[in-house]
Amino acid sequence: METTRESLLLMQERFRRFEQNLPCVIYEYVSDDTGIGQFVYFTPQWYELTEVTAEAGIADVNVAIGLVHPDDRAAFMEKNAHAAQTMTVLRIKIRIVTASGIIKWIALTSSPMSRNQDGLITWNGVMIDVTAEKLVEESLYEAKERFARMAETLPHGLYEYVIHADGRSEYLYLSKRAEEIYEYSFSELNENMSLFWDMVHADDLARLRSTDVAANRSGNLFVSEFRIKTRSGKLKWVQLSALPDRNPRSFPVVWHGVLVDITQEKQAEQARLQQQINQELAQARLLRIQQVEQLNAELAQSIEEKNQLLRSLSLFAKSSMASNLVSTLAHEVNQPLGAIAINAQQLQSVLKGHANDLHIEDAQYLLGRIRSDNQRAADVISRLRALFVLGSEPLEKFDLNELITETTEAIGFEHLRQNISVILELDVSNPILSGERGQIQMIIFNALNNAIDSIRNHGGTRAIHIRTLHQGESVVMEVEDTGPGFPDHILQNGFQLFQTTKPHGMGVGLWLSRAIADNHKATMRASNLPSGGAQLVFAFPV
């Protein structure tokens, strides 16, 4: 008996130590089916929690119930009654006001254990002080509210985006500004995550996906600028930047990001770039005009040199025949130089009057042509000097087809002005001649000018045909036109000096061509075609 008593005392001592070290209040309560009753037992922590003695709480249940915060009392009584009627566990968080007026949050759990013969229910319950947790919870809620208010005042959108281990992704948060930029709501995007990728411009989609994959692998800052087409059809430039809150290899990964509408900045940037391009184009046009003016100055200098040459020739030519020859040569030189001057003046007029419609490449090409023609004119002057001294030019090998093409291009403006077609049928074997290139070019010039003058006032087809071909040991050049043909006295008397087919000609061109042909051991013959028009045929030895 004594041993049993000692065991009981030892057990009671252990239970008291256990009671004193509990982090909560344990109680026992007896009630009827309405939940009304009285407390039977409190652990010592009751006083620490409520500042009311256990004896006072047990003596009068209203003392304990009176500790419940007035705003929570009705809900507590209602749930307590429901638990008694249904014999279910009561779980509730309520506030109490201690004896000294301190408000505390407690989590109360009470379980019905048994019912006696009088119908009374015995409850065992636990009260835990959760004031600290509630304060943290309230602080967190307040912080979220402050964050939400701040987010709504920002001009940029904010979002939180989570990627799960199974590959699923969803938005945890999307600010109102972000919804305005996307023109989709938070719920719409979460219901169909492909809406975001469907918005991205096709030209930016691959680049954005590549950047997204790289950022998810590395866990580094994600930044990208791209275009989207919104629900209303607007095209916007946006910038996304985000950082993950943990290693992307551990799931889930939450990305915290900022969404910025940069459409206006991009449009301003494009406008600045276009303005810069326009300025550069204007400067380029001004430079081309200056180059044309420089070419005009060079052309004027070349014409002055030609005039000085002619004045020198006039002084040298004492006889009537020499004087006539000088005048004719001046006429021959004036034609290419006059064409160059007209081309340059027209180009300058086009540049000044229609600069906005002219491509820079076209202007450069035309300017190059004028320079080339100007050089040819200077070469003509040089060769005219050489004509007075046989053998003054070095013999050289040259492509006859290339020389014909160059010469027809040099007087191309005159063809266009007279609405005359020049048709070239050149031997594909590219015949090569050996001689004085400048003098052979004079033959081609004279033949073309005679043909143009012949067709000028003649009706019907207006065309010039130039052919080259090999005949035995000779290279043949044929020049045909659709004019009235040679007069009979030209065909009968040959190519004598001062015989001309032109109303105001001097009769030197054909004579000069015959003299150059003789110098090169070539033959020259003239005839009229059965179909009408004149033909000049030159046969040069290979």
94 pLDDT tier (thresholds 50, 70, 90): very high
Paired strand residues for 51: none
Residues in the chain: 542
102 within 8 A of 131, measured Cβ to Cβ: no
Fold designation for 154-261: Beta-Lactamase (3.30.450)
Greatest mean pLDDT range, 93-107, 148-162, 353-367, 487-501: 93-107
Nearest to 105 by CA among 71, 131, 76: 131
Q: What are phi and psi of 318, to 5 degrees?
A: -80, -30
Cβ-Cβ contacts under 8 Å for 132 (sequence gap 6 or more): none
Q: What is the pLDDT of residue 321?
A: 42
Angle at 358 between CA 352 and CA 359, to 5 degrees: 135
| Residue indicated by tokens 């600290």 | 132
| Arch. (CATH architecture) of 19-135 | 2-Layer Sandwich (3.30)
Q: How many CA atoms lie within 13 A of 378 on its CB side?
A: 13
200: helix, coil or strand? strand
Q: Give me the amino acid identity at 427.
A: D
Please write the tens of the pLDDT for every residue from 165-182.
Answer: 887 888 888 888 888 899
Instruction: Give the pairing of strands 169-174 and 222-229.
Output: unpaired
Domain 395-542: top CATH class: alpha beta
In angstroms, the first-to-last Cα distance of the chain is: 152
pTM for this prediction: 0.35
Distance (Å, rounded) from C-alpha 191 to C-alpha 195?
A: 9
Domain positions in the chain = 19-135, 154-261, 264-389, 395-542
Residue 55 binned pLDDT confidence (cut-offs 50, 70, 90): very high
Residue 257's φ and ψ, nearest 5 degrees, are -135, 170
Judge if 19-135 and 154-261 fold alike in CATH terms: yes
User: H or E element: which one contains 243?
Assistant: strand 235-244
* Predicted confidence band of residue 267 (pLDDT cuts 50, 70, 90): confident
Tens digit of pLDDT for each residue in 6-38? 665 555 555 555 566 668 898 999 999 888 899
Taking CA 517 as the corner, what is the angle to CA 512 and CA 520, rounded to the nearest 5 degrees? 130
Four-way CATH pick for 264-389: 3.40.1710, 1.20.120, 1.50.10, 1.50.40: 1.20.120
